[in-house]
Structure 1
């Protein structure tokens, strides 16, 4: 699949852009000055499979706490800075990247000070452009539009270039899906900086999943995007889970199982919903990019099973377990899932041996 060529940056030891895998981010929602709670949330992101985490720095106490947090964080930390550029100067000596919103950070002298602090440690800067916080000059000229977002992004990355700084990532976020997609598409040919994808203020799990799947999945299929966050109100693990699913189901980056299951219908003669739920729960830890099929009736079950690495094809009160299209067992319904999981474990082991 084609992917736009972009400059490769490093946030800690995580590559962003170039030939690096597309990384998944989240952001803590605790008060950063609460070291214990913030570390707990960072660990949640890490164990869910997140690659990077962002922490807000609202005051001097947050900045001091972040230094302690960084010592114990299992993943690189991006400091999120708004309004007070001095907070960026305070945390630059120990964080892995700085995120600033040019619309509220202040004049050129303040941005230059942040740039110089980042140069000292080779820290990348993410320029975060949001429709909700555009610079006054661009909003007055263009309104809260794609043109305003592009003007802001171009002005700010060129400003950093004027300060001889090019370790830049850019995000162009709106709460509107179409606006978000158009902004990223139009900026992509204008520069080679890596893009951080996201739909901002996307809402709760349901709405954020839908919006992010359309916007981020669509852009990734066009070869646009180097790192991403699915913004969900209050749900760290869900952010990572949905982001990984978007990468997986778009075919952009395989990791974990692709579970194929049929919709419920009147042909079912088994408890398919229970079986699929159990398979999902028992296989969350698997990172091997395998295709598995759990199908509820004979109409499509055998056909799907032939294309899967491991499959269940339910019939009436019984069914088949298949591997690579071959039947390995015919069992009662109550025995199928456990045998399926046994075969899957063997398939995962074989994949790990051969990769």
Structure 2
């Protein structure tokens, strides 16, 4: 991808970090609730926030929302069917609009929107998902090609109207369809891609499917901004997205590593790891929680801080070097104290 698109203060495209997106699930017209959730999303690590624009009140609420935020985060208006809502959202301060030209209707409506977007330098995200394929393409192509070509059709329409500030998304509920459709689009155009699955599901199913699809594409160098789709609390989407990027070395983030446990384990590895994880994720530290002292120190030697324990005693180690022995019932308190000390003495503190 060689093109770069500016969404508020965030740049999407080659040479810029992969950005994390999510979408509020509040009524956008409920300004207070939406502002509260946007703040929670940003604290969790979200860098671009999308809101649903279903009517004029929602579109106009964007102005109030941005006025009440005490920080600058790009707001994307998600619009379907009525181009006037997208225009109103732009006039109300939206930093990007997401439309599906296919359900906007006649080309003149898309043209009216494009003129306003060009005038105010607001990018447009277009694309297709497995539930909104062009019928003629479904008959003409296989499913993956139909998905990709449906999105490219929308891109060509904007190009004919002289608009090139475009972000593309092609999403399916199926991992392989999503991967192959994005590979197809990436081979055809140079616009930045917004990647993720659509309607990925709930809980672990959504996390696994999204991680495979997004991770595979990013390892291929495809994708410039991501949204993990998980039914429910959007905060979880941001946390998972951050972990995916950190796992690929695309984002610095603290992480807890822990052994899978076995018959030798005498401490509650899962409980300890889950307790400290929220704190660790706010740092750049790697913290190891190992269930026994047989090889725990060796396996966790690359961690900044680690613990390996038995039922009575545990050893604390730093970068593979044992620094102290403690009672096992003080492991969590000791780790929290060490993490906080590391953060205070780090160059960034």
Q: Cα distance, 1:281 vs. partner?
A: 3.9
The 3 A distance-change label for structure 1 pair 304 and 27 is same
Tell me, yes or no, if structure 1 residue 63 matches structure 2 residue 59.
yes
The residue that corresponds to 1:334 in the other structure is 329
Q: Provide, for residues 35-79 of structure 1, a one-character-per-residue CA deviation record: whole Å limited to 9, x for no partner.
A: 222222212211211111111111122222222223224421100
Tell me, yes or no, if structure 1 residue 305 matches structure 2 residue 300.
yes
The residue that corresponds to 1:181 in the other structure is 179
The residue that corresponds to 2:82 in the other structure is 84
Moved over 6 A (4+): none
Scaled by the length of structure 2, what TM-score is found?
Answer: 0.94
Give, in whole Å, the separation in 2 of the partners of 1:253 and 1:189. 26
Scaled by the length of structure 1, what TM-score is found?
Answer: 0.92
Give, in whole Å, the separation in 1 of the partners of 2:342 and 2:279. 15
Q: Secondary structure at the match of 2:263?
A: coil
Q: Cα distance, 1:146 vs. partner?
A: 1.3
Q: 1:293 aligns with which of 288, 299, 317?
A: 288
Contact 1:85 1:114 in 2 (8 A): yes
The farther-off stretch of 297-306 and 166-175 is 297-306
Q: Cα distance, 1:349 vs. partner?
A: 3.7
The residue that corresponds to 2:114 in the other structure is 115
The residue that corresponds to 1:262 in the other structure is 259
The residue that corresponds to 1:196 in the other structure is 194
Give, in whole Å, the separation in 2 of the partners of 1:337 and 1:277. 10
Give, in whole Å, the separation in 1 of the partners of 2:150 and 2:62. 29
- Counting only pairs closer than 5 Å after superposition, residues 88-103 of structure 1 correspond to structure 2 as 88-93=86-91, 94-103=93-102
Give, in whole Å, the separation in 2 of the partners of 1:165 and 1:218. 30
Q: Provide, for residues 227-273 of structure 1, a one-character-per-residue CA deviation record: whole Å limited to 9, x for no partner.
A: 11111112111011111111112223222x12110113211122323
The residue that corresponds to 1:169 in the other structure is 167
The residue that corresponds to 1:235 in the other structure is 233
The residue that corresponds to 2:132 in the other structure is 133
Give, in whole Å, the separation in 1 of the partners of 2:279 and 2:312. 22
The residue that corresponds to 1:52 in the other structure is 48
Q: Provide, for residues 121-144 of structure 1, a one-character-per-residue CA deviation record: whole Å limited to 9, x for no partner.
A: 11111012112012333233336x
